[in-house]
Structure 1
C-alpha cells in the first residue's frame, strides 16, 4: 500500500524506514546497487551548511557538582542557543548530550549564528559563578548531507564538523572545514590551521 500524508501533503521520502528498506534491497539485489544508491542520494541528500556545537567542562563540572548541575547547564545552553539558531534561519536536527547538530542554507548564516551564540554566552557568563559558566566550541562544514526524518544527519562534512567542534576547537572557538571556508567571502578573516588526529592530517580555518 502506498504511503499517504494528511492535508494533501506529499509523503516524506527521507524516512528511516525507507532508507532501511533501500539498504535491504541492495543486499537482496546486489546487481541494482548503483541504481538504488543513486535513489538514496537523490532523495536523502541536502546541500547544506552544518553546525556542530559542543559544550566544554563535562568531567570537571560533574566531579565538582554532580551530573544534575551539568544537565542544568546543558538546558541553559539549549535555551540560549536554539532560539539563536532558529533566528538565523537554521534548523536544529538533533541534540545529543551536550552537543547540538544544526543545518543552514548557507555557511554565512551558520557563522552568523555561531558568533551570536558566543556573544550571548559572554553576556550570560558575567552573571554566573565562575565554576558554572557556559563555554562552547563550534565546528562548521558545508556539503552534501544525508538527512533522515529531519532528525538525524550523516556525511563527511558532518564528521569533520564534529571533529572540529568536539576535539580540535578550544573554548569560544569557531572552526571551519575547507569546504565551509570556500563558501565565505574572501573578506571574512580566518586563519588556516592543520592538526593531525589518529594519523589523519586535518586542514581547517579558525574564524577571527
Structure 2
C-alpha cells in the first residue's frame, strides 16, 4: 500500500530555498528527490458528458453522479492496493504500485459502473475514460502528484479516452506483457504534443496476463 508522509509545507520550503540559493540547486534537487520521489502507476479517471448533463439537468444532478462514481470507485482502488490522491470536479486521481494493479482496478470500476447503470434512468448513467501512466513522480502530502507521467496520464484520461476506454502511456505499456490482441497502439496528438498510447482491448486478455 502506497502512503504519503511528506507535507506540502516541507515541499514549498525546499522550492523556496532552491529559488533563494540557485548555486545549491543540485543539492536541493537531490533532497527533494529523496523525500518526495516515488515510482508508481498513475491512474486518472474522467467522467463523460459533464457539460451536456449539467446544461440539461443542472449542477446538483451531476454532483450527485460524481458522488456515486466516488462511492463505487474508491473501494475498488483500495482493493487493488492503490491510493486515491484526490478528486477534482469529475476526475479521480490515484496511484498504484504497478501498472497491472491499475488496469485490474480500471476494469473492475468499469464493470461495476455498467452494472449500476442497468438499474438507473439514462440521464443518471455514469461513463468514464481512464488514463494510466508509469514512472517517477513527486508525491506531495496527501493530495498531489507531479511529473511527466502524471501529465501524460491526465491528457489520456481527461482529453483522449472515450467512454469505457483505458489508455496507457508508452512507459506504462513497457511495464506489461505484450500479448497480441490485447493492446491496440494509437498515434495521438494534443496541444501540439504527439503521443503514442495503447488501448487495452479486452478484459479477457488482461485477466490471462495478470
Aligned to 2:15: 23
| Corresponding position: 1:167 with 2:159 | yes
Aligned to 2:184: 191
Question: Is residue 61–residue 132 contact of structure 1 (8 Å, CA) maintained in 2?
Answer: no
User: What pairs up with 1:1-208 in 2 under 5 angstroms?
Assistant: 14-187=6-179, 189-208=182-201
Question: Is residue 5–residue 142 contact of structure 2 (8 Å, CA) maintained in 1?
Answer: no
**Aligned with 1:183: secondary structure?**
coil
Deviating runs (4+, > 6 A) in structure 1? none
- Based on CA coordinates, which of the two structures has the bigger radius of gyration? 1
**Aligned with 2:178: secondary structure?**
coil
CA drift at 1:196: 1.6
Q: Which runs of 5+ in 1 are unaligned?
A: 1-11
Whole-Å Cα distance in 1 between the matches of residues 5 and 42 of structure 2?
21
When normalised by structure 2's length, the TM-score is: 0.91
CA drift at 1:13: 6.1
CA drift at 1:187: 2.5
Question: Is residue 174–residue 206 contact of structure 1 (8 Å, CA) maintained in 2?
Answer: yes
Whole-Å Cα distance in 2 between the matches of residues 138 and 79 of structure 1?
17
Aligned to 1:4: none
Q: Deviations over 1:60-96 (max 9, x none)?
A: 1111110000000000000000011111111001111
When normalised by structure 1's length, the TM-score is: 0.92
Q: Deviations over 1:37-68 (max 9, x none)?
A: 11111110100001000001111111111000
Q: Which runs of 5+ in 2 are unaligned?
A: 202-210
Whole-Å Cα distance in 2 between the matches of residues 106 and 199 of structure 1?
29
Number of positions where the alignment pairs a residue of Structure 1 with one of Structure 2: 197
Whole-Å Cα distance in 2 between the matches of residues 18 and 66 of structure 1?
40
**Aligned with 2:174: secondary structure?**
helix
